[in-house]
Structure 1
């Protein structure tokens, strides 16, 4: 398994991001979906990584700079058919290490609050993320769980 910074040009990555967005809209009302599409992931201030096993895409994740001391985890996804291989943990570990190397003091994220997001919340908790209030431009939302990690 290896992680690489990705330029968002490969078909496999596009397919995974389409799966991600479709699933988010299946699970949450439109006003509560905060997943980024391909064009928004290409914005300045966002770094995107993919996890590969040879030529097989196992997952992705991104780091968005909110300010000089605060980053946000975005677009964490493993293909539904390839879960439980450690790709999510590996990319999150990579994102946390990158946030530390950038000198961020805080790393935050938004995820869903329903049971379907419980595995994601458990992963974040295992890294030390704890519940917090909305941050950046987020508003309180019963469908969202906000989490933060002091670095």
Structure 2
């Protein structure tokens, strides 16, 4: 059975564990000062909606969030799937849920920042297959050379 994806609170122990796994994955890939991670508490703010993918036994295997910046702009944040389920299109499905919610909220543009280093290739593929195109720096992110930026126009 395919993983089920639903909106959940990040304030759960198993989600905290998955966030810690994501953070540990990012640490060796990008200098810390160029990692723009939302904490679990920030993910629980009203402007952020978290989607969690769970296997039939309830074990979380992936997540992704939509942060509403207002003015029709949404940001994809904290995309992650556990290594053992990569290649099963869970990330693509989470991204589709984020896009659907953005459209429901009348957002006209989705943006995201991800790493620009070896190790990020699977993420780039998910975004590019999802219709995102590379763009210049977005929001207030620095154009440091350690980030890659994507956007998708929704209207």
Query: Are 1:3 and 1:52, in contact at CA under 8 Å, matched by a contact in 2?
Result: yes
Aligned equivalents of 1:30 and 1:2: distance in 2?
32
Aligned counterpart, 1:80: 83
Aligned equivalents of 2:37 and 2:81: distance in 1?
14
Aligned equivalents of 1:10 and 1:45: distance in 2?
18
Unaligned stretches of 5+ residues in structure 2: none
SS in 1 for 2:27: helix
After TM superposition, the score normalised by the length of structure 1 is 0.95
Cα-Cα RMSD: 1.1
Counterpart among 77, 98, 105 of residue 101 in structure 2: 98
Query: Are 2:29 and 2:118, in contact at CA under 8 Å, matched by a contact in 1?
Result: no
Aligned equivalents of 1:21 and 1:84: distance in 2?
20
The equivalences for 1:1-80 within 5 A come to: 1-54=3-56, 55-80=58-83
Moved over 6 A (4+): none
Aligned counterpart, 1:109: 112
Aligned equivalents of 2:73 and 2:99: distance in 1?
12
Aligned equivalents of 1:35 and 1:85: distance in 2?
25
Report how many residues are paired.
Answer: 151
After TM superposition, the score normalised by the length of structure 2 is 0.92
